[in-house]
Amino acid sequence: MATEKNDKKLPEGAHETKAELETIAISSPGLHIGLVGNYSDTDETRFLLTPEACGMLTSGGIRISMEEGAGVDISFSDETYAEYGVRIVSREEALKCPVVLSYTPLRIADIEKMTKGAALLSMMGDGMFDPAVIKALLKQHISTGCLDNMVSHHDVQIFADIIDEIDGRAAIMYAEESLSYLGGGKGVLLAGVAGLNPCEVLVIGSGTEAISAANAAAGTGARVVLMDNDVSALQLARGLCKDRVELITIHPRVLTNLVKAADAIIQCNTSRPFEFPKNLSASLKENVFVIDLRESHPSVSVPRTVAMAMSNILINFLDEMAIKNGFKGMVATTPGVQGGMVTYEGKLVDKLVGSYLGMPCVDISVMLSGSN
């Protein structure tokens, strides 16, 4: 296993053991990040750092070791990353870094290659609800943080909101393509032109995804209706939506009429549980575009946009981590980061994951207070 060279000189003929090399990786001064790419057998293309962002981090003293070819999904070469101070290494070596960044949760085989006691930062995914994955993380004493469950100093789920906004906007990009002749549709614009009625877009939900989709559709000139089953949520959305967006409470008769007229339907999370009535499927227009953002992520089609957006957040996030003397210091002093932790030093600390898997869970604040 290759590592950064250390100033310590060994007696002639001596060799560093694997355990010693791992200790060097953890104890070397400064923050050392391992950046790994997506799994080739999935459709995931999103990535966390652009070369320019890496350059800003490395110029501040943060070391980055990136898996060879990891930037291919956002159309950046290894050479470009290297120009910004990134070391290009094997996946195995990147996984040995004290802090590992991966857009998706790692699989068991990769977790087992990580240095015991290291940290993993990723987005929340199905893997975090796999008991075998959680057990592997606990066995390796990996401290795992899900970025989209963390909140900023202003109590904003900034990582999650960024992805939701991109997903909402990209959904309208999908709709425009689907309605076009090239996309297999009838060959119509989402927006109207002089003398013609615009297409009608129905958005169900009132979160960041829904509002972003509604605003993007309104920006094209389409007629847009946003529905939710909570009036107070609609009142909050009113201040975030463009004037062209109509906000309506979900009512069976109103919903039926809107579904019949809709050229595009975007379904997102609603304030209270809601399932699209199956009997309305027969009322849909021919070639209507329908997407459920609770199950799909259009942002995989614009991974470089995702990387640029995430980079803008991670630059400050990792700089703060370096100032706080590493990942443990970041967790200990930042409540917003604590809320995103799934495992910490060999313990499961996420109540939702623990409840879902039926596994014992520890309060991370109690762990941290006990260590002070």
Interval 286-323: pLDDT, tens: 889 999 999 999 999 999 999 999 999 999 999 999 99
Res 157: pLDDT: 96
Res 9: pLDDT: 41
Residue 258 domain-assigned? yes
**Where does a domain end: 253, 271, 299?**
299
% helix / strand / coil in the chain, to the nearest 5? 45, 15, 40
Tokens, residue 226: 């946003």
Same domain, 290 and 305: no
- What are residue 28's phi and psi, to 5 degrees? -60, 140
**Cα 34 to Cα 101: distance, rounded to the nearest angstrom:** 6
Same domain, 261 and 320: no
Q: Taking residues 41-47, what's their average pLDDT?
A: 97
**Where does a domain end: 283, 299, 315?**
299
Residue 9 domain-assigned? no
Q: Which domain holds residue 354?
A: 18-156+301-371
Q: How far apart are the first and last CA of the chain?
A: 35
Same domain, 142 and 222: no
Residue 5 domain-assigned? no
53: left (phi over 0), alpha (psi -120 to 50) or beta: alpha
Residue 11 domain-assigned? no
Same domain, 339 and 211: no
pLDDT at 22 over 50: no
Residue 202 domain-assigned? yes
Exposed, middle or buried, 194 (CB in 10 Å: 0-12/13-18/19+)? exposed
The single-letter code of the amino acid at 22 is E
Same domain, 148 and 43: yes
Nearest to 336 by CA among 138, 109, 182, 158: 158
CATH number, domain with residue 106: 3.40.50.720
Same domain, 287 and 338: no
**Where does a domain end: 261, 281, 299?**
299
Same domain, 271 and 243: yes
∠ CA 95-41-350, rounded to 5°: 55
Same domain, 122 and 231: no
Helix, coil or strand: residue 142: coil
**Cα 320 to Cα 337: distance, rounded to the nearest angstrom:** 12
Give the total number of structural domains in the chain.
2
pLDDT at 30 over 70: yes
**Cα 265 to Cα 259: distance, rounded to the nearest angstrom:** 8
